[in-house]
Amino acid sequence: MALRQVSPKLLASLKGLNLIAKTVVDGFMLGLHQSKRSGAGLEFSEYRPYQLGDDVRQIDWKLVARSDKFFVRTSEVETSVAVRILLDASASMQHEEDGITKFDYARWLAASLSYLAHQQGDAIGLYAVQTHITHVPAHHDKNQLKKIFSTLETLTPQGKWAERTQLDGLLSRSKRREITIFISDMNEHTDEILSALKAYARLKNDVLLFHLIGANELEFNYKGEIEFEDLESGELVRINAEVAKTQYQASISNRLKSLEKSMQAERIDYQRFLIQEPLDAALRKFLTIRNRFPK
Amino acid sequence: MSVLYPVYLWSLLLLVIPIAVHLLSKNNPRRIKIGSVKLLKQTDSRIFRRIAFHDAWLLALRALIFALLSFLIASPEIACKYKASEKSWILIEPTVSLEGQSTDFHKKLDSLVKAGYEVHFLKPDFPTTSRTTQENARMDMWSLLAEADKVNRDTLAFFVASSLRESSLQGKRPTLSRQVQWLETSTDETAWIERIAQLSDDSLFIVIAISSANETRFEHLIAGMPNKSSVVPPIELIKQGDSIGVSLISNPNEKKWFSLTKRESWCIVYDEQFANVLPYFERAVKAIAQFSPTKISVEVKKETEWQEKSEAKIIWLCHRKPLKHLNYLDATGFSEESLLDEHFVHTLSEMLLPESTSENDRRKVSSEMAMPITRYEHHTSNEQRTSLMFPIWILVTLLVGLERWIAFSKE
C-alpha cells in the first residue's frame, strides 16, 4: 500500500489550514481507498443499482421512467457521533525543533482530523486550552470547518493549562456518543492534564491522547554546556548535555512508560508522535477508533 | 633547580590570559527553550558539580601550560651530578690570624657557621683543620679560588676571609661559576728589613720596609759599622765575628745577618749554541750587579772552562743541564723576542735579586676590585647542570593534547 505521506517540513511551507488539511487527508485517503459512508440522508450523494433487500421507497421512480432501470438514491449518512478536539495551547507547545513548533504540528493535526471527521459526517468541536479556553462547540454543518480553521489560525500558544472547573463546565453534558481527542505535549506542572484526561475517560466513551514529542526531547542530542529555559515557568537550568544525556534518557523513558501504563489503566488510547513525522499515523489511529462506531 | 634567565619569569603574567578567557566565557552558554525542565532538574545534582569540575580542570591545565611555557623561555636547569648535601664553604686565608680580628668579623663568621657553612683553609686541598705551620710560600689566590670552585659545586657563593693583599691577587682574574663574597679582615702594620749592603768599610746601607693596608714604604738608613753593638733607631746592630746582625727594635724576631767577608759572585756559563745571545745577558747582568747595593763580581765562562765546584751563582746558558749545582738560574728559556723587550732587565733582576717584599706586602685592594668574574655555567662538555627544556617541552605537548581532548569532549 503506497501512502503519499507529507512531511511536516513540506506542510510548514503551505499556507492555510484548509489546504494543509486537504493535502494531508486526501493523500492519506488516496492510500486507504476508503470510501465515504453513504446511506439514507437528506443530501444526495449518488445512484446505485437496486439490489434485493433495498428499501423500495428509496427507488428513484423518475429515473426508472427515463431509463427503465431501477436505481436507488443514496445520500451521505449523518451520524450522531461528535468529535471533540482538546488542543493544548499552553506556552510549552512553543517547543521548537527543526523549525517546527509543537503547536504548528498540533494545529495541522487538529485541522486534518477535523477535515477527516467532517467528511465522515461527524460533528466537530474544538477546545483550545490555555489559561482560558477558546472553544467552537460541536456541530455538523457546512461552516463548521471554516470556524474551526479560523480559530486554529488565530491561536498562539501561551499561559498554562486551564483550571479543572473551566473544563468541567464545558464538557460535562452531552447526549451524543463522543470521541475526545487530546493533543498535548503532556508538560504539566502538577498533574492537571492527566487528571483532566482521567476525568474524561470516566465520563465519555472514547478518549484519545495524541502525545507530541520532539526527537531531541526524546534522544537529547544536544552538545556542550547549555542553559535550558522552561517555556512556561521561565526557569533556567544549566547543564552539560553529554553528561546529563544518559540520565535524562533514562528518566524520560521512565516517564513515558508510566504515562503509557496509566493511560492503559484508564483505557485511554495513547499515541505518541514525533513532530518530525508525517501526520498519517495519527489519522489512521483516529479512523480505527472511529470505525468502532456504527455506520 | 634554577633558571638561566630569571627576567623571563615575568612572562608568568601571561597566566592572566587563560583566567580571563575562562571568566569571560563562562557566563554565556547556549540557551535553548524547551517545554519543560522538570526532567532535567531531576538529573543528579552531581552533574552540575562535575561540569564545574570539568571547567576547573581546563582552567588549571591551561594555566599550567602557560606557566610551563614562560618557564621554558627562562631556560630551567637542574644540577644533578653533585650531591645536594654538600656544604657551602668559608675559605680562610692561612695568613689571616683569627685572633686579631674585630668582633664584627667573628660575629659574621659565627653566624655563617651556624647557618651550616664549613670552614676550610685556602690552601691546596682545602683542609678543615686549623692551619699548621705558617706558610710563607707565595699564595696565588686566583688559582686556589678556581680550584675551590671546581671542588665545591653545590653552592651559589663562597665566603672568603681574606686580607685582600694586592700581592696575592696578581694575574688574570679567574672566571668562576659562583660568586665570591669577601669577608675582609683587618691588617696590622708590619715592618721588616728588606736589604743590607755595605757601602764602604765603615758604613752599612739598610733598607727597612713598612707595610700597611694603604701603603708599603721603604726607609733608607745609613749606619756606621758597629764595634760590638750599636743602636741606630729603629734598628739594632750586633757584630759577631765577621758578620753583622741587624734587627728591628720594635720586633727583635725580624733579624738579618750580613757577612762582611763574603763577596757575591755571579757567573754566566754558555756554550756555542747560546753564544749569539750572550752579549744581551752579559750586559744585563753587569748592569744589575752595578746597581745592586751589594758588591757583586760577574764572570763569563765557556762551558768547557767552567768547574762545577764554583760557589758563584750561575746564569746558565747551555744546551746541557748542570748536574749537581743547585744555585743556578736557567736562562735558556728566554726567547729572542723577550731579550729585546724593555722589561727584560727588570725581569732578570727580579730573578737574580730575591725580594721579600711580595710576601710581606700588606697593601690591600678593595673588595670590589678583587671580584672574580662570575659566569653561571651551562652546556659544556662535562656538564653538571642539565637543561630541563626537553622534558618540559614533552610535558607541554602532552598537556596541550590533554587540554584539546577535554575541550573537544566538553563540546
User: Which of B25, B34, B57, B408 would you mutate first to test chain A, the one with the most A CBs within 10 A?
Assistant: B34
Q: Which of B36, B40, B48 sits opposite A187 (nearest CB)?
A: B36
Answer yes or no: is pLDDT of B139 > 70: no
A240 and B34 within 8 Å at the Cβ level: the answer is: no
Distance from CA of B23 to the nearest CA of A (A): 15
Residue-wise pLDDT tens digits, B33-57: 887 777 777 776 545 555 566 677 8
A29-44: b or e for each residue (b if 16 or more CB lie within 10 Å)? beeeeeeebeeebeee
* CA closest to B48 among chain A residues: A239
Rounded Cα–Cα distance for residues B65 and B63 (Å): 5
Mean pLDDT value across residues B8-19: 84
Do B129 and B120 contact (CB within 8 A), yes or no?
no
* DSSP three-state, residue A44: strand
Share of chain B above pLDDT 90, in %: 2
Instruction: Identify which of A95, A96, A251 has the shortest CB distance to residue B39.
Output: A251
Q: Whole-angstrom Cα distance, residue B18 to residue B11? A: 13
DSSP conformation letters of B258-286: EESS--EEEEEEE-GGGTTTHHHHHHHHH
Q: Which residues of A touch B50 (CB under 8 A)?
A: 240, 243
Chain B nearest-CA distance from A6, in A, is 25
Specify the DSSP class assigned to residue B165.
B
Q: Do A225 and B29 touch (CB under 8 A)?
A: yes
List, for residues B227-265, the tens digit of each pLDDT value: 888 888 888 888 887 788 888 888 878 888 877 777 778
CATH architecture of the domain covering B264-354: 3-Layer(aba) Sandwich (3.40)
Q: By C-alpha distance, which of A236, A234, A244, A249 is closest to B48?
A: A244
Provide the CB-side half-sphere exposure for A170 (13 A, CA): 24
Q: What share of chain A is helix, strand, coil (3-state, %, to 5)?
A: 45, 25, 30
Q: Examine the predicted complex and report whether its ipTM is higher than 0.90.
A: no
Contact B34 A231 (CB under 8 A): yes
Give pLDDT, residue A66: 92
C-beta separation of A62 from A92 below 8 A = no
Which whole-number Å values give the CA distances from B184 to A200, B147, B161, in the listed order? 107, 21, 6
Q: Tell the CATH superfamily of the A8-33+79-290 domain.
A: von Willebrand factor, type A domain (3.40.50.410)
List the pLDDT tens digit at each of the 295 positions of chain A. Answer: 334 567 777 777 777 777 777 777 777 766 554 545 555 555 666 788 888 888 888 888 988 999 999 988 876 655 667 888 889 998 889 888 888 889 989 988 898 888 888 877 788 889 888 888 888 888 777 788 888 989 888 988 888 888 877 777 766 556 667 888 889 988 887 888 888 888 887 776 688 888 999 888 888 888 777 888 888 888 888 787 877 888 888 888 998 999 899 888 888 888 888 888 888 777 877 788 777 765 4
Residues on chain B touching A255 (C-beta within 8 angstroms): 39
Q: Compute φ and ψ for B298, nearest 5 degrees.
A: -115, 130
**pTM to 2 decimal places:** 0.46
Tell me which residue has cell 747582568: B285
Most confident of B38-52, B96-110, B322-336: B96-110
Q: For residues A277 and A217, is the Cβ–Cβ distance under 8 A? A: no
* Numbered residues of chain B with Cβ closer than 8 Å to any chain A Cβ: 29-44, 47-48, 50-51, 54, 409-411
Query: What is the domain partition of chain A in residue ranges?
Result: 8-33+79-290, 38-76
Query: Among the listed ranges A126-140, A154-168, B136-150, B193-207, which one has the minimum average pLDDT value?
Result: B136-150
- pLDDT of res. B395: 92
Interface test with B, best of A160, A251, A255 (most B CBs within 10 A): A251
Cβ separation of A237 and B35 shorter than 8 Å? Answer: no
Chain A residues with at least one Cβ partner in B under 8 Å: 92-96, 102, 185, 187, 217, 222-233, 235-240, 242-244, 247-248, 251-252, 255
Residue B90 has pLDDT above 80, yes or no: yes
Question: pLDDT at residue B84 above 50?
Answer: no
